Chain A
């Protein structure tokens, strides 16, 4: 074991880590909002809206993320004659992916609000928009938070896939460094440790938030 090669090339891994974090942070932030909107559309009473949205969600949930990434990187430039930066492409394709998963989380949470609340809202003379705004969303959002966070942790790990289409994230840089230095054990172990520490911190946050959410729900 000789971690010298890792330490002297720490800058390379660092720049990869920054790309990984930027990519994940952007994707997670975008998908928290788009996921909510898509979830609302997916439970729309109009079939014209609901059907395409459900198809989109199922397609992204039932195909491998790597297939989506490769499809996007190979086909979108050809189909639409656009040439974006690989990083931008990565953010778009992962946002599409995470939005689908987040939408399901929001939808499950919205549908978990008991139907009796709807009856109560009618009895109290709330309008439909008021019912959603003051009764459904406050409860549903709280219920959705733990799942959203879990999805987001998964996203950080999934972001490693972009290395296979030459986005220079942490995974890509560590692969490059491993073959430059012939030190796969040290480099890949370091990279694995970095990913592990990130998701460890994140999962502690999830646990904390989960406990608080449960307390809030129990207190109701």
Chain B
């Protein structure tokens, strides 16, 4: 069997691959942004609330981290309609599953950031008469955000990479387009290598940025 390389077909399919990339970025960015916020609240509940909410939040996080994201995605896509009687679009399923995954891994990052905030700050807040909610927003959040920044960034990269699975529920993301184009044209090597290259070109600088941010922040906080 001989395989003839034909890189010219990539030009023809570039617009489709571009639209796939756009969908990948949309899903990834939406779930990264919302997931990080949800992750902060999960971590806050786990660390600073009473026993029952904390236990519930811990169970949710443990479950989300212990089950493949692919199965969570299928669960949202196939089971939400049955249980809640709502139609879940591929976009919503993809967004929801990735968002919860991001929330779960970010809650761990925030928790280890919380651990670096000294107990004295609580006493200081009480002494200054700062209410709990204000303290969360103006004392805990800024400090933990700064300390968790490198891990949050690498979580974002993980979610971006994980987003390739949304093709399994029919989202026309870059992976989906890549698979379809390569089957349709019979040129998997060119197409899939290009797809892998695009993912790499986005993810690699971000992982570099993680270590830069890490260095800067460690330097600034003198940790």
A70-B175, A188-B75 are contacts. A160–B68 as well, Cβ < 8 Å?
yes
Residues of B within 8 Å of A, CB-based: how many?
Answer: 41
Residues of A within 8 Å of B, CB-based: how many?
Answer: 40
A45 to B13 alpha-carbon distance, docked (Å)? 43
Q: What are the residues of chain A within 8 A of B69 when measuring CB–CB?
A: 157
Chain A residue nearest in CB terms to B192: A71
Query: Quick one: CB contact mask for B173-216 with A, threshold 8 Å, 1 for yes?
Result: 00100110010000011001101100110011001000000000
A160-B70, A171-B70, A171-B71 are contacts. A67–B195 as well, Cβ < 8 Å?
yes
From residue B182, how far is it (CB to closest CB) to chain A in Å?
6
Could you tell me if A158 and B82 are in contact, using CB atoms closer than 8 angstroms? no
Could you tell me if B67 and A189 are in contact, using CB atoms closer than 8 angstroms? no
Could you tell me if A171 and B188 are in contact, using CB atoms closer than 8 angstroms? no
A75 to B3 alpha-carbon distance, docked (Å)? 10
A62-B199, A74-B192, A78-B189 are contacts. A200–B62 as well, Cβ < 8 Å?
yes
Could you tell me if B175 and A66 are in contact, using CB atoms closer than 8 angstroms? yes
Question: Is B23 on the interface with A (CB-CB < 8 A)?
Answer: no
Chain A residue nearest in CB terms to B162: A64
A189 to B163 alpha-carbon distance, docked (Å)? 22
Question: Is A61 on the interface with B (CB-CB < 8 A)?
Answer: yes
Which residues of chain A from 177 to 214 have a CB within 8 Å of any chain B CB?
178, 184-185, 188-189, 191-192, 195-196, 198-200, 203
Question: Is A40 on the interface with B (CB-CB < 8 A)?
Answer: no
Question: Is A81 on the interface with B (CB-CB < 8 A)?
Answer: yes
Could you tell me if B79 and A66 are in contact, using CB atoms closer than 8 angstroms? no
From residue A62, how far is it (CB to closest CB) to chain B in Å?
4
Q: What are the residues of chain A within 8 A of B162 when measuring CB–CB?
A: 64
Q: What are the residues of chain B within 8 A of A63 when measuring CB–CB?
A: 161, 196, 199-200, 203
A188 to B83 alpha-carbon distance, docked (Å)? 13
Which residues of chain A from 59 to 87 have a CB within 8 Å of any chain B CB?
59, 61-68, 70-71, 74-75, 78-79, 81
Q: What are the residues of chain B within 8 A of A71 when measuring CB–CB?
A: 188, 192-193, 196
A71-B192, A78-B3, A78-B189 are contacts. A62–B72 as well, Cβ < 8 Å?
no
Could you tell me if B188 and A66 are in contact, using CB atoms closer than 8 angstroms? no
B residues near A, CB below 8 A? 1, 3, 62-63, 65-72, 74-75, 78-79, 82-83, 157, 161-165, 167-168, 175, 178-179, 182, 188-189, 192-193, 195-196, 199-200, 203-204, 207
A residues near B, CB below 8 A? 58-59, 61-68, 70-71, 74-75, 78-79, 81, 157-161, 163-164, 171, 174-175, 178, 184-185, 188-189, 191-192, 195-196, 198-200, 203
Given contacts A160-B68, A161-B70, 6 further A-B contacts (CB under 8 A): A64-B162, A64-B199, A81-B1, A171-B70, A189-B75, A200-B66
**CB-defined A-B contacts under 8 Å, sample of 8:** A62-B203, A63-B200, A67-B178, A67-B199, A70-B179, A78-B189, A160-B71, A203-B66
